[in-house]
Amino acid sequence: MSSAVKLLPMFREELRMCKVRPGETVGILTQGLERLDYAQAFSAAATELGAKVFHVDLPSPQAAGDVEWRVGQTGLGDHPLVVEAFKQSDLLIDLVFLLFSKEQLAIQAANTRILLCVEPPETLMRMFPKEDDKRRVLEEKRMLEQAKTLRFTNDAGTDVTYELGQYPAVAEYGFADEPGRWDHFTSGFAFTGGNDDGVNGVVVLQQGDIVFPFKRYVQEPVRFTIRKGRVVSVEGGFDAKLISEYMKSFDDPNAYGISHIGFGLNERARWDALVTETRGIGMDGRAFLGNVLFSTGPNAEIGGTNDTACHLDIPMCNCSLWLDDTLIVDKGEIVIPSLLPNGVVKETL
């Protein structure tokens, strides 16, 4: 049995959750002939649901093999007619990674739903979204939108405060079911951004925290000093040097801006997934229950003006997080019942 045939039932159910209806148009985007089995399975699934389907495969990027993960740069901008076709679609299946790109924002603005799918099949199956995920993530979104400040700490010395209100909150619950909505097939968190000059303090990474796009567990402390929404220093040993040199390589002052902040709610995501699985972009690490996702770089997805191609996502373990004066995460444990699976407080032995 081909991989596309095996994927078909799962992708059909995902498209149902995305509210694909008879007569809708579903566009599928690949690049360099990658994930063609995903494209075939999504095409068959959408056809079974009565949708009209078309598939575009972009040429491989000229910088093929480049180890840098330059977000927002896919080559779709060289094909304006393709962008227009996707703007006329009801749903776009993104099998490339358009996030942070001007083209994605334009497609969303035309009310096209967008579903990103780049994780391996085993991860998609294990983290397949549930309706209760939507309830919980929307509750996190509501809490982020209502708060005026977010503060998080850890025992390694982190103590940073985000002034909130300039930017909206965004929910990722794993399916794109509303006009203009973007989501990622496997997710489970919400996030917002601090005011442009309103993030101040210190973030100290400790052993077990994860740095993306490196897909690397931190082995020793890394200290970020943040003033008025910008990283002003990165100190520590080898891990700090890797991060510092990576940010420096973009030769872009916006690389040092602070991006989004949120916390993970997906109990099916695994902190230890990178030990055996490095395909995809690492949504296990970004979404696992109780992590605080500290990020640097672009903020266009929440309406900001920072469009740097340098983006770091850093899921942190064992942090405590407050929204205003309300404790939400206590040393890596979610303590708000409505944010837990089925609204039940996690039991401790």
| 3-class SS letters over the chain | CCHHHHHHHHHHHHHHHCCCCCCCEEEEEEECCCCHHHHHHHHHHHHHCCCEEEEEEECCCCCCCCCCCCCCCCCHHHCHHHHHHHHCCCEEEECCCCCCCHHHHHHHHCCCEEEECCCCHHHHHHCCCCHHHHHHHHHHHHHHHHCCEEEEECCCCCEEEEECCCCCCEEECCCCCCCCCEEECCCCEEEEECCCCCEEEEEEECCCCEEECCCEECCCCEEEEEECCEEEEEEECHHHHHHHHHHHHCCCHHHHEEEEEEEECECCCCHHHHHCCCCCCCHHHHHECCCEEEEECCCHHHCCCCCCCCCEEEEECCCEEEECCEEEEECCEECCHHHCHHHCCCCCC
**Sequence-ordered list of residues with C-beta below 8 angstroms from that of 114, at least 6 positions apart, any chain:** 91, 92, 94, 98, 104, 107, 108, 176, 181, 182, 183
Quick one: 92 exposed, middle or buried, by C-beta within 10 A (0-12, 13-18, 19+)? buried
Cα Rg, the chain, nearest whole Å: 20
Residue-level pLDDT, tens digit, the chain, 349 residues: 468 789 999 999 999 999 999 999 999 999 998 999 999 999 999 999 999 999 999 988 754 443 345 665 678 888 999 999 999 999 999 999 998 889 999 999 999 999 999 999 999 999 999 999 999 999 999 999 999 999 999 999 999 999 999 999 999 999 999 999 999 999 999 999 999 999 999 999 999 999 999 999 999 999 999 999 999 999 999 999 999 999 999 999 999 999 999 999 999 999 999 999 999 899 999 999 999 999 999 998 899 999 999 999 999 999 999 999 999 999 999 999 999 997 555 544 3
Q: At what angle do helices 3-17 and 36-48 cross, to 10 degrees?
A: 50
Extract the tokens encoding 297. 């770089």
**Sheet of 52-58, strands arranged across:** 52-58, 25-31, 91-94, 113-116, 182-184
Q: What pLDDT score was predicted for residue 342?
A: 78
Q: Give the model's pLDDT for residue 68.
A: 44
Domain boundaries, the chain: 3-118, 129-340
Output the pLDDT for position 61: 72
pTM over 0.75: yes
Q: Tell me, what's the pLDDT at 349? A: 32
* Contact of 188 with 287, CB cutoff 8 Å: yes
Domain 3-118 sits in CATH at 3.40.50.2300
